[in-house]
């Protein structure tokens, strides 16, 4: 069982990660090099054929988060935490004659440094410290490498510090070019080893999941009443397309009737067919040629019966859409779809007590409440209009407003302002979710 790990890292750090391959003979590493962590969003898009992503630190992980979430790939990163800072402060204390009197430090989170300082019982009253806590907490100081470079450079030029400790490779490179005395944080070998072990664990889980039973259902729906002879022709073409997909992904296809087909495979084959659940299998231009839509539902399960039941739920969701679409239902009853690069996910069931309470008090279904929770997790900030919500839920604005009204009655949603995108017309209310 070979676990394929994509390592996203600066070039000079890559050997320290890949050296651990000798301790994990069932792992294969492929490296993807970045210079500035902001580049990692585009870098992940290039990655094909891997089971897990391993990032060299929290910064590349943060900037690539949206991409690997879309690909639904398990991901880990080497931390830059209290343990890392404790090691680095000890290194400076032992190896620099100036000691720790006047430092300029950047760290992902200020509390990491506070804990390391407390461990050493140090006086840091003369230190200059900045952080970029947004990447850890989702709020706080945003990451701006140029601002961090400016911070350190000015501290050194003004005499407020005599040495810089940075946690950002790009910042270190730029400061070296400016001939500012600095040190890139040493990453403890223990942190690398533990992260590689976590990647192996997630990779094993991913491979096990890919062996789950999968069932797909494809159905033809007539767009117009005219043209009695169009459906058989559409059925023949759909069958041919599905058979080709089956050959490519090692899945079997059977015809259930004139307008419906069933597909049997594994989760891995469906993942390949849908490009990590980000697009509907190519159906050509059947809608244009035959005046039909193609609805597809995929289901995963521990048994064929469970997988087929989930596929029928997916097909039901797809048929509710206005055009051709596909939905997928996992064995945890998570519904993903319509399958596209910006697909959405919600749960048909939940064990989250808070979400269950919201559903009970508002009278909304747990699926709707789950969608609302997913809606906020996808957004950078918890601010939205009824139009934003209606577009996400694919409901009319009036339906979205009814949902908001029920939520506001129990203070799960509150109005926090207004926006007026156009010079004319009424302003739109801006809302925030409170759960």
Q: Where among 168, 184, 200 does a domain terminate?
A: 184
Closest-CA residue to 151 (of 171, 177, 124, 176) = 171
Closest-CA residue to 175 (of 192, 202, 150, 197) = 150
pLDDT, the chain, mean: 85
Tell me: pLDDT of 213 over 90.
Answer: no
Lowest mean pLDDT across 194-203, 297-306, 360-369, 420-429: 420-429
Do residue 163 and residue 23 come from a single domain?
A: no
Do residue 340 and residue 240 come from a single domain?
A: yes
Tell me: pLDDT of 228 over 60.
Answer: no
* pLDDT band at residue 351 using 50, 70 and 90 as cut-offs: low
Closest-CA residue to 199 (of 324, 334, 21) = 21
Mean pLDDT throughout 349-375?
78
Return the top range by mean pLDDT from 114-123, 183-192, 292-301, 316-325. 183-192
Distance CA 132, CA 125 (A): 20
The model's pTM: 0.61
Q: What are the distances in angstroms from CA 257 to CA 27, 245, 262, 329?
A: 45, 19, 10, 23
Lowest mean pLDDT across 119-128, 169-178, 383-392: 383-392
Task: Note down the domain range covering 412.
Answer: 353-433
Tell me: pLDDT of 251 over 50.
Answer: yes
pLDDT at 232: 64
Lowest mean pLDDT across 171-185, 218-232, 268-282, 389-403: 218-232
Lowest mean pLDDT across 70-74, 121-125, 326-330, 403-407: 70-74
Task: Kindly report, residue by residue over 295-316, the tens digit of the pLDDT.
Answer: 999 999 877 888 898 999 899 8
Do residue 50 and residue 197 come from a single domain?
A: yes
H or E stretch covering 287: helix 286-290
Do residue 315 and residue 170 come from a single domain?
A: no
pLDDT at 229: 45
Do residue 72 and residue 87 come from a single domain?
A: no
- A 10 A CB-CB count for 264 gives 17
pLDDT at 328: 92
Tell me: pLDDT of 264 over 80.
Answer: yes
Tell me: pLDDT of 198 over 50.
Answer: yes
Strands (E), 132-204: 163-166, 182-184
Do residue 237 and residue 335 come from a single domain?
A: yes
Do residue 367 and residue 327 come from a single domain?
A: no
Mean pLDDT throughout 259-280?
85
**CA contacts within 13 A on the Cβ side of 124:** 18
Distance CA 72, CA 270 (A): 13
Tell me: pLDDT of 226 over 60.
Answer: no
Give one DSSP letter per residue of 368-381, joined into a string. Answer: HHHHHHHHHHHSSS
Question: Domains in the chain: how many in total?
Answer: 4
Structural contact between residues 31 and 80, judged by C-beta atoms closer than 8 angstroms: no
Task: Kindly report, residue by residue over 111-169, the tens digit of the pLDDT.
Answer: 999 999 998 888 888 999 999 998 888 778 889 999 999 999 999 999 999 999 999 99
Do residue 69 and residue 197 come from a single domain?
A: yes
pLDDT at 378: 67
Closest-CA residue to 37 (of 189, 144, 185, 175) = 144
Q: Where among 284, 310, 344 does a domain terminate?
A: 344
pLDDT at 379: 66
Do residue 383 and residue 334 come from a single domain?
A: no
Tell me the backbone φ, ψ of residue 352, rounded to 5 degrees: -75, 110
* pLDDT band at residue 208 using 50, 70 and 90 as cut-offs: confident
Do residue 203 and residue 54 come from a single domain?
A: yes
Do residue 227 and residue 250 come from a single domain?
A: yes
Distance CA 216, CA 281 (A): 11
Lowest mean pLDDT across 65-79, 249-263, 289-303, 411-425: 411-425
Tell me: pLDDT of 230 over 70.
Answer: no
* pLDDT band at residue 320 using 50, 70 and 90 as cut-offs: confident
Structural contact between residues 431 and 385, judged by C-beta atoms closer than 8 angstroms: yes
Closest-CA residue to 271 (of 253, 247, 256, 249) = 249
For the chain, helix, strand, coil in percent to 5 are 45, 20, 30
CATH number, domain with residue 297: 3.30.70.270
Do residue 73 and residue 119 come from a single domain?
A: no
Task: Kindly report, residue by residue over 92-104, the tens digit of the pLDDT.
Answer: 999 988 888 899 9
CATH number, domain with residue 405: 1.10.10.10
Task: Kindly report, residue by residue over 4-56, the tens digit of the pLDDT.
Answer: 899 999 999 999 999 887 777 788 899 999 988 888 888 888 888 888 999 99
């Amino acid at each position: 069982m070979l676990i394929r790990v994509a390592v996203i890292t600066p070039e000079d750090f890559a050997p320290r990660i890949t050296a651990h391959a000798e301790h994990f003979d069932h792992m294969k590493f492929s490296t993807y090099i970045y210079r500035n962590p902001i580049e990692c969003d585009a870098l992940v898009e290039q990655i094909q054929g891997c089971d897990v992503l391993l990032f060299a630190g929290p910064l590349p992980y943060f900037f690539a988060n949206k991409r690997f979430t879309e690909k639904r790939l398990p991901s880990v990163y080497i931390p830059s935490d209290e343990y890392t800072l404790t090691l680095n402060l000890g290194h400076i204390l032992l190896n620099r004659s100036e000691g720790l009197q006047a430092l300029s430090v950047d760290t992902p989170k200020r509390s990491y440094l506070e804990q390391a300082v407390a461990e050493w019982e140090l006086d840091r009253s003369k230190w200059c410290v900045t952080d970029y806590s947004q990447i850890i907490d989702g709020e706080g100081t945003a990451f701006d490498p140029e601002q961090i470079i400016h911070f350190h450079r000015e501290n050194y030029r003004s005499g407020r510090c005599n040495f810089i400790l940075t946690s950002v490779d790009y910042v270190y490179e730029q400061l070296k070019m400016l001939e500012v005395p600095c040190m890139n944080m040493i990453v403890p070998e223990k942190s690398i080893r533990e992260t590689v072990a976590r990647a192996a664990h997630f990779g094993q889980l991913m491979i096990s999941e890919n062996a789950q039973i999968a069932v797909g259902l494809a159905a033809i729906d007539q767009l117009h009443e005219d043209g009695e002879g169009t459906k058989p022709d559409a059925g023949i073409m759909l069958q041919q397309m599905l058979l080709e997909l089956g050959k490519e992904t090692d899945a079997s296809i059977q015809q259930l009737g004139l307008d419906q087909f069933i597909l049997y495979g594994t989760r891995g084959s469906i993942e390949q067919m849908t490009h990590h659940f980000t697009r509907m299998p190519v159906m050509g231009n059947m809608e244009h040629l035959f005046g039909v839509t193609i609805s597809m539902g995929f289901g995963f399960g521990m048994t064929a019966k469970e997988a087929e039941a989930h596929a029928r739920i997916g097909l039901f969701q797809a048929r509710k859409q206005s055009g051709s679409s596909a939905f997928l239902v996992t064995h945890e009853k998570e519904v993903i779809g319509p399958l596209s690069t910006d697909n959405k996910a919600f749960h048909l069931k939940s064990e989250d007590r808070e979400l269950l309470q919201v559903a009970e008090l508002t009278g909304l279904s747990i699926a709707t409440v789950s969608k609302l929770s997913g809606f906020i997790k996808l957004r950078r900030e918890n601010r939205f209009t009824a139009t934003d919500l209606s577009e996400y839920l694919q409901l009319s604005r009036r339906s979205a407003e009814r949902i908001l009204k029920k939520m506001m009655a129990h203070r799960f949603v509150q109005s926090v302002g207004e926006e007026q995108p156009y010079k004319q017309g009424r302003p739109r209310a801006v809302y925030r979710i409170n759960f």
